[in-house]
Amino acid sequence: MTAAFYLGLIAPPANSSTNIKAQCPSGNCTFQQTSGASYSSIAMCSECADISGSIQNNNYTEDGNYSLPSGCSIKGDSVVANTMYVYENSGDRDQNLFTFDTLLTRMDPNTSAPWTAVAIRCSLYPCVNTYAGNVSNGVLEERLVSSQRMGNYGAGTTEWFSLAANQTLRKGIWSECTWSQAPMSPTDVCSSPTTSPWPGTFEGCWPNDCVWTLGVAPTVGIQSVLDELFDNQTASYFDSNPAGPLWVQNLWNIGAGDLKNSQKVMDGLANAITAVMRQQGDNSSAGLAMGTVQALQTCIGVNWAWLSFPVALLILSIVFFLIATIKVSLSPMRRVWRSSLLTLLFHGLSKELLREEVDYGSSPEDAAHQVKARLECHEDDFSFTKVGATDEHSIQGPLALSTVPKAGRPGSAGEDIKEFGSFLPPSGQKKNREVLVKGLDALKLATDTGVKVCFGTDLLGSMTYAQSQEFSLRAKVLPAKDILLSATVSAAKLLRQEHFLGKIEESFAADILLFDANPLEDVTILDRPAEHLLATIKDGRVVSSRWEKLKPDNESSAKMLKT
């Protein structure tokens, strides 16, 4: 179940049916429907509401201080989102399973203030959904017909949710649910006023398939996981780099977070939880919706009228062959075989001819072995050039080739990245480690054979924080000098900018990074810019500096470091 929470927040399913596996041998099945409904199932529903009107101190300030009555707040110019659990004690059955507030900063192009704040309150609650479904080409397709909220029962930390429906679907047909004072069947579900604190609860019994329940244990378990995910979680944005839990970043949506985006995130989480509840619940194997399997069968019919013509031709051909054989055998010219194929048909080839080897010839293959060529790099493309006797020795030299390997991927180095250390299953982690080892071996082989290796990465978007780990990975097989050359001089040559980029010389681009240590001695300091990066110079301007001896062109830069 915990994995479903993360999957629903990071890679949500398109709908609750995406992860449901229907047992349909032929790949095409239908379910009986009444009024467009086929079956019902327990589910998790969500709802979000805009509560921006309750934001306190809703005026733009440089520090960006905003807060909500629930305690959710944003303080500091780098914090852009905060989520906070909201305790509900409404005292009625419509109380939600979990509620939290989200306070976001967002760019508002319609106001004069460059930043404003928006507050969203989202809730999750158990429900009973009714679907119209069918299986097409092995894929379950469902359409939501109706949804009913399940009532909250219990008090304090002992909570559960239940719903006694007025009618239920039995094999696709609606049936009334009639309660009784006493159980009419051993499987009936009965309630008692002593088990619920809510007024109006009376003692009664219902058929088993008319009652839907989410017990105390799953209720408390789901609440505890949601509390860890959303209670007092923050996301920050500094130097164009977002940080914090990925699901909080998704709610912020790069400054475009609003009610619609929050509802989309919560729908994805609810769909993922629903899929697990439907397939792995306490009684997920009971009361399955039964459908009709549609299978393709091949039927063969014989049209004798159409077959009569080829059959007649076959019979006539046999008769003709027999007549011809008899007439030839009785003819005085029967020994004249020179122009007849019957000799070969009856006598066959001689044994000497059958044993004779066929000479397929080997001259083309021998000629191919005599040709030596090499791959040459031209201005716009590559081509093979035949090597003569005078320059045959040069074919063994290194080619003027370049490569841009991407050695880093989340979780490849084991537990180096906490966010992805346990996200993959053991088999996936093992495969990632094997890919990493092979990639590093190829990187070293390319360097040893003279191929120019350039530094590159494909960790984009939310993975940018892991880009710097490329240096530590390459340091396992390459010396620091080769790694630095791959990120500077070699890369400039690959881009055909070797006269403008890659070196600190006159007339070159003034793009410089200043560190408090020598990367030639320990290249892994590039993986820790927060510890070792002193200043960044771009186009000759000091963009940022933490070194008191070098002032930035922008006076609002970070704190200075004495060194």
The model's pLDDT over 343-392, given as tens digits with 9 standing for 90+, comes to 666 666 666 666 665 555 556 677 777 777 777 766 666 677 777 644 54
Residues 6+ apart with CB under 8 A from 515: 525, 526, 532, 533, 534
pLDDT tier for residue 311 given thresholds of 50, 70 and 90: very high
CA 311 to chain centroid, in Å, comes to 61
* Pairing outcome for strands 173-176 and 29-30: unpaired
pLDDT digits (tens, 9 = 90+) for 476-530: 888 988 888 888 888 888 888 888 888 888 888 878 888 899 988 888 888 888 8
- SS3 of 56-78: the string is ECCCCCCCCCEECCCCCEECCCC
Beta bridge partners of 160: 153
Sheet containing 158-164: order of strands: 151-155, 158-164, 211-214
pTM: 0.51
Residues 6+ apart with CB under 8 A from 89: 95
Give the side-chain half-sphere CA count within 13 A for 186: 0
Say how far apart CA 341 and CA 33 lie, in whole Å.
72
The size of the chain, in residues, is 563
CA 88 to chain centroid, in Å, comes to 35
- Find the farthest-apart pair of alpha carbons in the chain and give their distance in angstroms, rounded: 124
Give the mean model confidence (pLDDT) for residues 445-449. Answer: 81
Q: Does the pLDDT value for residue 413 go beyond 50?
A: no
- Of 130, 169, 148, which is closest to residue 16 (Cα–Cα)? 130
Give the mean model confidence (pLDDT) for residues 151-172. Answer: 81
Say how far apart CA 51 and CA 94 lie, in whole Å.
19
CA 467 to chain centroid, in Å, comes to 20
Say how far apart CA 265 and CA 124 lie, in whole Å.
12
Residues 6+ apart with CB under 8 A from 22: 29, 135, 140
